[in-house]
Amino acid sequence: MSGTFPSNKVRALNFKNNHPNIVTTSLSGRRQVKSQGQQFFSFTIQTPILSIADYKEVMGFLASQRGQFDQFAVNLPHLSDPAGSITSNTLAVNEPSGADAGATSIAVDGGVASATGYMKKGDFIRFISTGTTANNTKVYVLTADLDLDGTGAGTLNIEPGLIDSVNNDSTVETNNVTFTVYQTGATQEYDVGVEGFAQVEIDVAESIGSVT
């Protein structure tokens, strides 16, 4: 991990949810689909119009990534925060034997008793302190609202399925969710105007696991 991209330098995003599938359609119209790889998020970060001083800060940060080699953290305006009523990272995995790889429903506790809409469909989460690097960096999206029972427990329904097992009592990051990404291109272009202002666009994708 090589630092955190400054969130105040993010103006806009072109956000993508990627599912690498192979689809074939026969002459009879029958469709066959085969999953070809792990789901991942990617997006284009566009900065606001920057002064030369701010532009150099961004350029120096990107130079430290060494092109596609390293990975960095970024928190996305609006998307990294939940639409539900949860205000802090209080939820924890409530699976005595842990949650298995591939699971799309994970029991949690530690929330506000009897809360409805505690998290909303489309909110992002990340499992941290799981003991596995992959799940520490992978971001998941909720496919259903999270409502809690009288003890503050409920079930998270997510996609994709867990890419690795998650330990019991692992913290669920629900607020200010961090995306771990890398630059998808080996070359980064910079546009600088003669008036002394600049704007930067960076194409990135989720980096799942560690850099070797």
pLDDT tens figures, 149-206: 999 999 999 999 999 999 999 999 999 999 999 999 888 777 787 788 888 999 999 9
Mean pLDDT of the chain: 91
Residue 17's nearest CA partner among 205, 209, 188, 212 is 205
pLDDT score at 28: 83
Separation between Cα atoms, residue 204 and residue 79, nearest integer Å: 16
Q: Identify the weakest region by mean pLDDT among 28-32, 38-42, 98-102, 155-159.
A: 28-32
Higher pLDDT among residues 109 and 210, named by residue: 109
Separation between Cα atoms, residue 167 and residue 164, nearest integer Å: 10
pLDDT score at 33: 87
Q: What residues contact residue 180 under an 8 Å CB cut-off, 6+ apart?
A: 1, 71, 72, 73, 137, 206, 207, 208
Q: Identify the weakest region by mean pLDDT among 28-32, 146-150, 202-206.
A: 28-32
Residue 12 has pLDDT above 80, yes or no: no
Residue 133 has pLDDT above 80, yes or no: no
Separation between Cα atoms, residue 195 and residue 200, nearest integer Å: 16
pLDDT score at 210: 62
Q: What's the whole-number mean pLDDT along residues 119-143?
A: 89
Most confidently predicted of 32-46, 80-94, 130-144, 193-207: 80-94
pLDDT score at 134: 75
Higher pLDDT among residues 173 and 28, named by residue: 173
pLDDT score at 148: 98
Q: How many residues does the chain have?
A: 212
